[in-house]
Structure 1
Amino acid sequence: MKKKTSSFKNRLIGSLATLLLTTGLSFGQSDTGRVEGTVTDPTGAAVAGVTVVVTNIETNSRIEITTNEQGNYVAPTLRVGTYRVEFSAQGFRKNIQNDITLTVSQIAQINAQLDTGEITDVIEISSNAPLVETSSSSLGQVIEGKQIVDLPINGRNFTQLATLVPGVSRGTPGSNADGSGGNAETFRQGDTGSAAISANGLREQNNNFLLDGIDNNESIVNTIVFFPPIEALQEFRVITSVAPAEFGRGGGAVINAITKSGSNEIHGTVFELLRNSELDARATFAPTKPIFQRNQFGFAFGAPIKKNRTFFFGNYQGLRQNLPKEEGNRVTVPTSRMRQGDFGELLNADFTGLGQPITIFDPVTGNPFPRNIITRPLDPVAVRYLNSFPLPEIAGRATQNYFVKRIAKQTFNDGDFRIDHRFNDTNTIFGRFSIADDSQNDPGRIPGFQAGFGAGLNTIEARGVASGYTHTFSPNAVNEFRFGFTLLRIGFFPVNFGQNQNQTIGIGGLGAGNTNTGISLIGGGNGNFIEYLGDGGQFTLRERSYQISDALTYIKGNNTLKFGFVTIRRNVKAFQGDFAKGFYSFSDFAATPGNKPPLGQTGYEVADMLAGRTSFTSITASLTG
């Protein structure tokens, strides 16, 4: 069968050109902040011509600027970190302010009052007090590196800390973005809510994730592509309202995460987190305690390649987890008597679970079968199909009689490598490579068959490149260039993919020889009278994303002009099985007293199967010729 492929080539997702003329600067999709302020003398008068030197304590990179006629200065496009700001002018004592912490997209207001005296005299001020941002109307909060590392985070999912920001909550379970279903796009961190957050009550799909100023969104449910380990994050900012114009894209939160760079000092971390089921309690109705094993391990390391010039930072995080799913839940399998066409057990009102008996009718004559035993020949395919189910584990009931023993095996390998280089005080570059190879193999509810949403093999393979170049033309003109590329492959492969279970059971039709092997989707209603088996078929997606952005900042007096554009191009190719193996639906009508089934039905789903009576059948096929 020919695969059905949808291609969205050369699709321009966003192209934004902005011109901002403001007294404050709005920072867009970048990993920088800014320091600005006013310098005055003891009388409060502005001091022009003051030399201002802003130095990054960790890398010793610096920028030198001069105050204008109004005593104002601006040091734009500074990487997040800790800074020292020095003010010096002839006839005044040098003023040094230490421990200035600059966060992502922050506009830090650092004012200085110079005292008269010799320039060799120094006044030093040290403070880690929070800086009030008065130059931006955006609402949000920065989650700093210390918070990311120190606060307890279940599963080391950094997006959980976004709830520290007013107006942000975790997404609603079952939102298609929170991972609760274990589907291919969101099984990662599914036990911790994935990346689903809601800002100000908006949908979880309305958010915009950035990593080092580069788009970090996938296009299916608009969740995150790369989950950086917490050791790799310098900090991240969550903007919940009045986001700068450069962001666009989503009306929810903007989550702008920044990875760490190396410094002049060597830093390293090694970790291993172990959890298992040895001390867990057995679920109330579960016959045994399910196996739970979680090993999360990795390292982070940063160091200088050349002091004050070139730095690197790398990290790796692995996960090996056996995760119980639907612990204590039960599903319905047919009894041994039902598989032989004997439904006499259903005449017992307590056995049916409905509090009423169920009568089996002849689908041809419309008359009840004597003693609820089908006297017509049984469909041999249906007999083989029913015998594929395990026998009930709970006697005396027709429904909810088999315990789910579902252990999903997760194997994650994620990492980043970043290099920063400073050519001189006016030219800096960085490059980052990220990788994610994550898979979840879920055996489902019924051994050997696709059963239960999220069962099967779900895979995500992602590769990402981000780079940036910052050039300072003059203290009043700075340009930032960004390039990013992301390759994302998402896959779903049903249980026993590669084995033609339809052929083994004897299910024919157009779907019998389909390359999307496994078994057709078979069942009815909500699966109350017999558990669904099968699926719609294999799903694969390949997405390529390219981003180019540039922003030129020019400062003239008290005004700042910013010219910029962001262009994102996505190429998405997807293949969906679309029930090419077939969908066989059976009625979930139950023939309780006073409720006779229509002609052509037996009054019970399992009996309909043995009689070969589907309510409808659907098969999708592509024909060539």
Structure 2
Amino acid sequence: ETSSVPAQYGQHSGGAVNAVTKSGTNEFHGDAFEYVRNRIFNARNAFAAERDGLKRNQFGGVLGGPIIKNKLFFFGGDQATVVRSQPATIINFIPTPQMVAGDFTTIASPQCNNGRQITLKAPFVDNQINPALLSPVALNVVKQNPVTDDPCGRIQFSRKNNLDEQIIMGRVDYQQSQKNSLFGRYEQARMNSPSDYDGKTWFSMGQPDFTRRYHSFVLGDTYSISPNVVSAFRGTLLRTLNEKFPKTPLFTWNDVGVKNFYYPPNWGKIVVLIVSGAFSTGPGGAAMHNPGVTNSTAYQLAEDVSWSRGAHQIGFGVNYIHSMSNWLSGTNAPGQMLFNAQNTGLSLGDFMVGRPSTFIDGAVATYYLRRNYMGLYLQDTWKATSHLTLSPGIRWEPYFPASKKDPPPATFVQTAFDQGIHSSVFKNAPAGLLFPGDPGTANSNSLESRGWAHFGPRLGLVRSEGQWSHGSASSLWVVF
């Protein structure tokens, strides 16, 4: 069913897929598989000098059968994906001992700039910088760099691009009686994206270690209340966890001498540094900007009742979801420095004198979001005539706004500022900055107001063309 769906389905206007599967078998069945890509099987791109070095293995298997014949059955599966990519060679340019001594004649010469001579801006003369003007922070960073004997500071390195993924699922079915059947299903998915750090060059780390975890457990009970009334209950628990931290400690801006800079000590040590045209942490350092952790938990309870009475197939039910999402985000918390030659005329010169064109720093932010959802529905599939079927229905989805578990944000009130009014909750806050609990503010963590009058009527129509015709016409009117 696409776009317009019956009242049983809510929250969206997209399609719905229903599949009927057989649960449990008195015989054992299973299979195994493996899918391989590597240099042996991959064809060479017509425009490439050689075949790509991608290695991708996807393998696994399934097994199912009886635990107690005709009563208790199991099914399980496992799939793993391993990806190893051949990293490309990257060329960067780092400060040389000559530059550390204040002599920039070589790095500014045509030899190091594709035939173009660069002259440092005033007040620097003869492409020389007084060593006393060099930044202690820059000198400390240079100590972390690899060693090169290239006069231009040229070095080569690679960034890894690997991935490990595994999906495990298991299901147990129990036929308690002719009237009652139960099942339990568990699924786990794990994905690890290791850092691209090559183990030698600190600025090869453009992507910290990224781990993702997903757990799902569903318990279902189907019970025949009577020959024409069936109850289906589902209880679901979902849990996700995503972490993005470097597992290999490098250094922070504090470690190299930047004062009044804070970064969480248990988040690994990283910096974001971009020296245009020379060296940087990753392609722009974008992936390093946002370390942190995100986790979510959701509970769902759903009950659907189907009642067959004459020409009517009546359905009604309820769906309740409670979700909790927690963000701990360090967007720009590692601190980003960009050097682009606007001060000395050479980006490496700007770096060595400690004159960044841009410095961005962000505090660690927390966001603990809670939300409830409820939907109730009533629908009927009525075979009005041998050629006409009507499907009226209605769904009620009251709107419960999300709320924040962490302390609510302050509100700036201009009139309170003009009158010099201070918060009675946080007495040291500036005038005009009010918090929940202060007069004139909402004493709630809810982000919006509740909405009760949210009804979604449905009306479907299907007309068949006759006993010997395979054609039919249908339409469905829906309000979400």
Aligning the two structures, in what range does the TM-score lie when normalised by the shorter sequence? 0.5 to 0.7
Look up the match of 2:216: 464
Structure 1 residue 581: deviation in Å? 3.9
Look up the match of 2:299: 546
Look up the match of 1:431: 184
Supply the AA of the counterpart residue of 1:248.
Answer: G
Instruction: Give me the whole-angstrom Cα distance separating, in 2, the residues matched to 1:418 and 1:467.
Output: 10
Say if 1:530 and 1:409 are closer, same or farther in 2 by CA, change over 3 A: closer
Structure 1 residue 356: deviation in Å? 4.9
Residue among 343, 362, 375 paired with 2:104: 343
Look up the match of 1:607: 349
Look up the match of 2:477: none
Instruction: Give me the whole-angstrom Cα distance separating, in 1, the residues matched to 2:58 and 2:108.
Output: 53
Q: Does 1:564 align with 2:317?
A: yes
Look up the match of 1:408: 161
Q: Does 1:584 align with 2:337?
A: yes
Look up the match of 1:71: none
Residue deviations 1:478-510, cap 9 Å, x none?
22111100111111112524x545455444432
Q: Does 1:518 align with 2:269?
A: yes
Instruction: Give me the whole-angstrom Cα distance separating, in 1, the residues matched to 2:100 and 2:43.
Output: 36
Q: Contact (CA 8 Å) 1:449, 1:496: kept in 2 or not?
A: no
Please state whether the residue corresponding to 1:608 is helix, strand or coil.
helix
Structure 1 residue 539: deviation in Å? 0.9
Alignment map for 1:225-304 (pairs within 5 Å): 241-251=3-13, 261-277=23-39, 292-304=54-66
Look up the match of 1:479: 231
Residue deviations 1:523-553, cap 9 Å, x none?
26xx544323673363112211111111112
Q: Contact (CA 8 Å) 2:186, 2:215: kept in 1 or not?
A: yes
Supply the AA of the counterpart residue of 1:532.
Answer: T
Supply the AA of the counterpart residue of 2:123.
Answer: N
Q: Contact (CA 8 Å) 1:333, 1:391: kept in 2 or not?
A: no
Instruction: Give me the whole-angstrom Cα distance separating, in 2, the residues matched to 1:446 and 1:360.
Output: 35
Q: Does 1:373 align with 2:131?
A: no
Supply the AA of the counterpart residue of 2:235.
Answer: F
Q: Contact (CA 8 Å) 2:166, 2:190: kept in 1 or not?
A: yes
Residue deviations 1:329-353, cap 9 Å, x none?
6353325355554433455568435
Residue deviations 1:239-285, cap 9 Å, x none?
xx324444433455656788874312210112344444466689999
Identity %: 25
Q: Contact (CA 8 Å) 1:530, 1:605: kept in 2 or not?
A: no
Residue deviations 1:573-602, cap 9 Å, x none?
22123444433333x24xxxxxxx5xxx11
Residue among 282, 300, 311 paired with 2:73: 311
Supply the AA of the counterpart residue of 1:343.
Answer: F
Q: Contact (CA 8 Å) 2:95, 2:142: kept in 1 or not?
A: no
Q: Does 1:358 align with 2:118?
A: yes
Q: Contact (CA 8 Å) 2:148, 2:155: kept in 1 or not?
A: yes
Structure 1 residue 402: deviation in Å? 5.4
Say if 1:276 and 1:492 are closer, same or farther in 2 by CA, change over 3 A: same
Count of aligned pairs between the two proteins: 361
The farther-off stretch of 602-611 and 333-342 is 333-342
Instruction: Give me the whole-angstrom Cα distance separating, in 1, the residues matched to 2:104 and 2:19.
Output: 61
Q: Contact (CA 8 Å) 2:80, 2:164: kept in 1 or not?
A: yes
Supply the AA of the counterpart residue of 1:519.
Answer: I
Q: Contact (CA 8 Å) 1:521, 1:536: kept in 2 or not?
A: yes
Look up the match of 1:126: none
Structure 1 residue 397: deviation in Å? 7.8
Instruction: Give me the whole-angstrom Cα distance separating, in 1, the residues matched to 2:146 and 2:52.
Output: 19
Say if 1:574 and 1:528 are closer, same or farther in 2 by CA, change over 3 A: same
Supply the AA of the counterpart residue of 1:318.
Answer: A
Say if 1:515 and 1:435 are closer, same or farther in 2 by CA, change over 3 A: closer
Say if 1:441 and 1:500 are closer, same or farther in 2 by CA, change over 3 A: same
Instruction: Give me the whole-angstrom Cα distance separating, in 1, the residues matched to 2:49 and 2:259.
Output: 38
Residue deviations 1:311-368, cap 9 Å, x none?
21011223344334xx436353325355554433455568435x7543322xxxx335
Residue among 85, 96, 119 paired with 1:323: 85
Look up the match of 1:37: none
Instruction: Give me the whole-angstrom Cα distance separating, in 2, the residues matched to 1:554 and 1:542.
Output: 40
Please state whether the residue corresponding to 1:617 is helix, strand or coil.
strand
Instruction: Give me the whole-angstrom Cα distance separating, in 1, the residues matched to 2:141 and 2:103.
Output: 16
Structure 2 residue runs of 5 or longer lacking an equivalent are 366-427, 429-480
Structure 1 residue 431: deviation in Å? 0.7
Supply the AA of the counterpart residue of 1:561.
Answer: I
Please state whether the residue corresponding to 1:385 is helix, strand or coil.
helix
Instruction: Give me the whole-angstrom Cα distance separating, in 2, the residues matched to 1:409 and 1:566.
Output: 41
Look up the match of 2:281: 532
Instruction: Give me the whole-angstrom Cα distance separating, in 1, the residues matched to 2:5 and 2:102.
Output: 65
Please state whether the residue corresponding to 1:344 is helix, strand or coil.
coil
Q: Does 1:418 align with 2:171?
A: yes
Q: TM-score, normalised by structure 1?
A: 0.50
Look up the match of 1:449: 202
Instruction: Give me the whole-angstrom Cα distance separating, in 2, the residues matched to 1:610 and 1:285.
Output: 41
Supply the AA of the counterpart residue of 2:84.
Answer: N
Residue among 84, 88, 92 paired with 1:332: 92
Alignment map for 1:130-279 (pairs within 5 Å): 138-139=1-2, 241-251=3-13, 261-277=23-39
Please state whether the residue corresponding to 1:343 is helix, strand or coil.
coil
Q: Does 1:382 align with 2:138?
A: yes
Supply the AA of the counterpart residue of 2:296.
Answer: E
Higher-RCO chain (CA-CA 8 Å, sequence separation at least 6):
1
Please state whether the residue corresponding to 2:217 is helix, strand or coil.
strand
Please state whether the residue corresponding to 1:424 is helix, strand or coil.
coil
Residue deviations 1:218-253, cap 9 Å, x none?
xxxxxxxxxxxxxxxxxxxxxxx3244444334556
Please state whether the residue corresponding to 2:194 is helix, strand or coil.
strand
Alignment map for 1:58-73 (pairs within 5 Å): none
Say if 1:286 and 1:328 are closer, same or farther in 2 by CA, change over 3 A: farther
Structure 1 residue runs of 5 or longer lacking an equivalent are 1-137, 140-240, 590-596
Instruction: Give me the whole-angstrom Cα distance separating, in 2, the residues matched to 1:473 and 1:397.
Output: 82
